[in-house]
Amino acid sequence: MKTSIHDFSDTEMRVVDALNMATSGVANPEQWLIDALTATKSSSGVRVNTWSALSIPTLWNSVSRIAGHVGMLPMEVRRRIPGGSEPTTGMSAAKVMQIRPNHLQTAMVFRETVTLHALLEGNGRAWINRNSLGQPVELIILKPSETFGWMVDGEKYHSTWIAPDGYPSNASLQDRYSAIRRGDGWQILIPDQDVLHIPGLSYDGLWGMSIIQVMKDVLGLDIAGRESSGHSFRNNGRPGLLLEAPRGVFRTEKEATEFMHNFNNAHVGVDNAGRTGLLRDGMKAHIMPLSSADAQFLESRSFSREDVALIFGTEAVLGDPSNVYKGITEQNAAYVQNCLNKWLEKWEQECNRKLLPVASQTNGSHFFSIDATMLLRGDSRSLAEYTASLRTQGIISGNEARRMHGLNPVPELEDDYANPAISTGPPEATQDQAQDDNQDSRPVVSDNAARIMFFGQMAYESRRIREGARADGNFITFCEVFYRKHKSKLERKLVSIGADPARAEAYCKRSMSLILDVTGKITADALPESMDSLTENWNDRIGELIDV
């Protein structure tokens, strides 16, 4: 632990000097004191801080919508394979982001909170606690009010203040980084590579800008309008009232004051609305009309919905009610594309850069992915039309289509990419029967559709081989059983496009020959890696099945 200036490097000393200047005296007070006394003052005269901004309903809706979706959408680490990618759960990065970032928060709450900090304060941060191998084992949220950023000699640092009873414990950070004593707590200096940093809109590309600071006038106007409306309601929703009393009605100032006090108690406030009043001795009441400026000021509150929606990019779902989309699908698509996607991309890229092993970053073998498909499903009719279109084009299999509708897969549709609108004939049709059919009645399938169909089958085949190489049991027996079933599938698909089904048997024999040739030269420990290399360019063999 570094607790004296003699323990710091030259670069760290420059950071220490900056911290000493920033945290001396009253330069770094507690956040509650900042909010109470020195919150940003807007042009309307209203002071704006995080809590007053969150009291704006539209702002609360916007940030809770964006942060909530970032937190709830499925996030996984995927491994690149020939023809696509597949999820993997064995990496430390996947565990901390999907299951348990720390012992206090779930994965959703963690991502939601960091995104909320980025939306409002401009920067969402979490300390990456690593084990001795450099793998992330815990992610600890750093409060925006206690964490600051520094650039020293071209290096990026984050400093955070840890209270004696704060979380994480002092030992967690002090034993690893430079620490400066600040009263009862510690100021910790953390290099950027150990901080998961999600910035908001940034001017310099390093630190995000605070919405509270930049938009203080817009937010302050909304708060001021709400306070003015509240004041109006406190006065029974009426403009001011002027009482005119004839000379001599009140003999002393005390009598006049008591009368006004009793009158206000009887008539001011929503609870007293509609009560009958009584004026004595020829007194007259004059209602003071609401000025046009005051009326316009109160009316301006109706525009805050559009303003806040424009600030956060949620105008598709919170903006002008007259801007009606054709359906919920278009509305959700506009929201995802114009607002949510940029936050998902920030999370994916930052997690790729900070949480994945260096080797995976270098060769691109793994990557984080957040799936926003669930937000684009829309109504059931639109989803059915969308699924049918993908299915008939051979882009998805029958089981993939079932998963999109929340249904379990069935063996009969396992990785079947054939167009269901095209009749393929009975599965038991033989080669001789196919040759006897009228050639003009054979289904017509485009070359592109045929490629898609068999590329999907070959991707499935290579994936099954890699899975078998990693499973317990006899790998050769696994392959023999697999290819007996796979040959039948290929035969049916070849018949469906009018090709020779005999190619399926030749292709499967060739596949087994390639596998046996490799397994005869390696040890059992090298089997998974060898099958990965063998199937890496499996799609290059498509010419063995169809003419290309």
Q: List pLDDT tens digits, range 358-404.
A: 888 888 889 999 988 888 766 677 777 778 888 887 778 887 888 77
Q: Tens digits of per-residue pLDDT, 288-345?
A: 655 554 555 545 555 567 788 888 888 777 655 555 566 677 778 888 888 999 999 9
Say how far apart CA 100 and CA 474 lie, in whole Å.
35
Q: Tell me the percentage of the chain whose pLDDT exceeds 90.
A: 19
DSSP character at residue 290: P
For residues 407 and 446, the answer to whether their CB atoms sit within 8 Å is: no
pLDDT for 444: 45
Given 3-state DSSP classes, what are the helix, strand and coil percentages for the chain, each rounded to the nearest 5? 55, 15, 30
Say if residue 481's pLDDT is above 50: yes
Phi-psi region of 189 (alpha: psi -120 to 50; beta: other; left: phi over 0): beta
Say how far apart CA 439 and CA 207 lie, in whole Å.
68
Query: Which among 462, 414, 355, 413 is positioned nearest to 138, based on CA atoms?
Result: 355
- At residue 155 the predicted structure's pLDDT band, cuts being 50, 70 and 90, is confident
pLDDT for 89: 77
Structure tokens at 37: 């006394």
If you average pLDDT over residues 83-89, what whole number do you get? 81
If you average pLDDT over residues 59-80, what whole number do you get? 92
> Residues of 231-242 as b/e, b for ≥16 C-beta within 10 angstroms?
eeeebbeeeebe
Say how far apart CA 432 and CA 142 lie, in whole Å.
72
Whole-number CA gyration radius for the chain: 34
Helix (H) or strand (E) holding 244: strand 241-244
Helix, coil or strand: residue 546:
coil
Say if residue 226's pLDDT is above 80: no
pLDDT for 266: 73
Q: Of 55-69, 102-116, 177-191, which one has max mean pLDDT?
A: 102-116
Say if residue 434's pLDDT is above 50: no
Backbone angles phi, psi at 127, to 5 degrees: -75, 135
Structure tokens at 467: 């899975």
Say if residue 219's pLDDT is above 50: yes
Say how far apart CA 152 and CA 11 lie, in whole Å.
7
- Write the CA distances from 311 to 58, 62, 218, 331, 341, integer angstroms: 11, 9, 10, 18, 16
CA atoms within 13 A on the CB side of 97: 30
Q: What is the 3-state secondary structure (H, E, C) of 311-357?
A: HHCCHHHHCCCCCCCCCHHHHHHHHHHHHHHHHHHHHHHHHHHHCCC
pLDDT for 195: 95
Determine the straight-line distance between the first and last CA of the chain, rounded to whole angstroms.
65
Backbone angles phi, psi at 150, to 5 degrees: -140, 145
Q: How many residues does the chain have?
A: 548
| pTM, rounded to two decimals | 0.62
For residues 287 and 238, the answer to whether their CB atoms sit within 8 Å is: yes
Q: What is the 3-state secondary structure (H, E, C) of 509-535?
A: HHHHHHHHHHHCCCCHHHHHHHHHHHC
pLDDT for 49: 82
More confident residue, 69 or 427: 69
Backbone angles phi, psi at 88, to 5 degrees: -135, 140
Query: Which among 135, 136, 134, 74 is positioned nearest to 107, based on CA atoms?
Result: 74
User: Which residues make Cβ contacts (< 8 Å) with residue 393, sequence separation at least 6?
Assistant: 419, 449, 452
Indicate the residue type of 113. Answer: T
Q: Of 21-35, 228-242, 279-293, 467-481, which one has max mean pLDDT?
A: 467-481
> Position of tokens 């793994």?
366
Structure tokens at 193: 């590579």
Can the peptide bond before residue 409 be classed as cis, meaning omega within 30 degrees of 0? Answer: no
If you average pLDDT over residues 98-113, what whole number do you get? 93
Helix (H) or strand (E) holding 283: none
Say how far apart CA 533 and CA 548 lie, in whole Å.
24
Instruction: Give the mean pLDDT of the chain.
Output: 77
- At residue 45 the predicted structure's pLDDT band, cuts being 50, 70 and 90, is low
Say if residue 37's pLDDT is above 60: no
- At residue 197 the predicted structure's pLDDT band, cuts being 50, 70 and 90, is very high
Q: Of 31-40, 213-222, 282-291, 338-347, which one has max mean pLDDT?
A: 338-347
